[in-house]
Amino acid sequence: MNRNIWTKKFAGCLAVLVVLMLPVTAYAGVGDIIQWLTTITDTLKGDIGQVLGGIQKVGSIKQNLQQQLAWPLSAINQAKSFVSQMRSQ
C-alpha cells in the first residue's frame, strides 16, 4: 500500500513537470520585432560601438605609422618619378 502511494505521487509530480515543460506559443508582433532590433542597434552603438571605434582607431594609427616609417608614400612617389625621368632620357 505504501509503495502504491509513492508511485502515484511520483506519477503526479512527473505529470506536473511534463506540463510545465511544454512549449508556450509565442506571439511576437511587428512592434516586438522592431523593439528587439532597436535594442540590438542601441547595444551596437553603445558599448560595443565604443570598443569597435577603439579598434578602428588603433588600426588607423598603425596604418599611418606604416606609411610614415615602413613605406613612406612621398619617398615611393619620388622614386617612381626619378625612374620615369631616367627612362625618358
Task: Please give the distance of CA 56 from its chain centroid, rounded to a whole number.
Answer: 15
Mean pLDDT for the chain overall: 86
pLDDT for 73 equals 83
DSSP code per residue over 7-61: HHHHHHHHHHHHHHHSPPPP---HHHHHHHHHHHHHHHHTHHHHHHHHHHHHHHH
Name the helix (H) or strand (E) containing 64: helix 47-65
What are the residue ranges spanned by the domains of the chain? 2-88
Does the pLDDT value for residue 63 go beyond 80? yes
